[in-house]
Amino acid sequence: MSLIPDSRLEDLTPEDLGRYSRHLLLSEVGLIGQQRLKAAKVLIVGTGGLGAPLALYLAAAGVGTLGLVDFDVVESSNLQRQIIHSSRDIDRPKVASAADRLKALNPSLKLQTYNIRLNSSNALQIIKEYDVVADGTDNFPTRYLVGDACVLAGKPNVYASILRFEGQASVFDAAKGPCYRCLYPSPPPPGLVPSCGEGGVMGVLPGILGSIQAAEVIKIIVGGARPLIGRLLLFDAWQMTFSELEIEKDPACPICGQNPTIKELVDYDDFCGLKAEPEEIIESLTVKELKVKLDAGTPIEIIDIREPHERTMFRFDGTKPIPFGQLVRRMEEFDQDRDLVVICKIGQRSLFAIRTLKQAGYHGPIFNLAGGVNAWAKEFDPTMVVY
């Protein structure tokens, strides 16, 4: 059964009949199914790797209204996988770039863009206007935010995530099955799971997972199909394998269980542990401050925790390379009477590394390089690669 009421259906125009003729030939879609697509309103959170193919295929399929939420701008490193953007869009807001591409693909598409960060104060107000929400985000706070907001608003949440060569997808609909919290009751420790910007991603991977999301959205709108409710689809692009896990609704889930305790959206940065307590504040150095120390000959030890293949792209001279996984067992190599600076690509893994060292008993002066080696390249050497 479709979630689009018949009262919202409109006749297809002659142009519609021609454009969507291959859908109309499918008995599972047909005229009614295409009318439902035309009447549907879908919100896409994120117009990056997943949101790019997702938005393109939904626009091409004839979904009548798309909402796009993203506060980011296009960067050159996006273009390896975010096929909705082009080189001429660099430095433009992603929602503006995506809107241009989508309107060029389907001029009849109705678009609503939100060049903002989705948060607890605006999520419900935005989501309630749509029939389906598709989550194309790349961080845990926003995934929990989208998941909770969809439960509270009674909307299906078409989910996917990617990293390196692997991806997963599911449909969370608390009225019919589990929600995101049923699968992931609590977030991982901050820094444990790298982002695509730190861990890398095969360029075609989000295209595959985003297309799966688009297929699930279309099935939900048209009705009559078996969506991924209660199922987690796992894909490995390097091995080219698909597998599936069953997800059960958790009766003790705090938002969709038998006795829910979450009645409103919360602070998701705090929930995911991204707001450090005062005693956990880690001192940082900017790249300018580090250069001043280096130029002055200040005794300092720099630990590069990037993986070996990363260091081949950008070598930071004068550092001691120790991959993150070896830090604690090699802690005795550090001179705790000297300033220790930990560096990584963008200054995120290094924060987690410093917390790990402190928990293991390191008591010397220790600093995080804010912005990592990418910030150093941008500030002091434009010939170096920013990756």
Give the active site residues: 196, 344
318: region left, alpha or beta (phi > 0 left; psi from -120 to 50 alpha): left
Q: For residue 252, what are its two tokens?
A: 């003790």
Residue type, 109: L
CB 12 within 8 A of CB 38: yes
User: Could you tell me which of 102, 24, 98 has the C-alpha nearest to residue 64?
Assistant: 102
Tell how far CA 75 is from the center of its chain.
16
**Any bridge partners for residue 284, and if so which?**
368
In angstroms, the CA 217 to CA 223 distance is 10
Is 264 exposed, middle or buried, given 0-12, 13-18 or 19+ CB atoms closer than 10 A? exposed
In angstroms, the CA 340 to CA 327 distance is 13
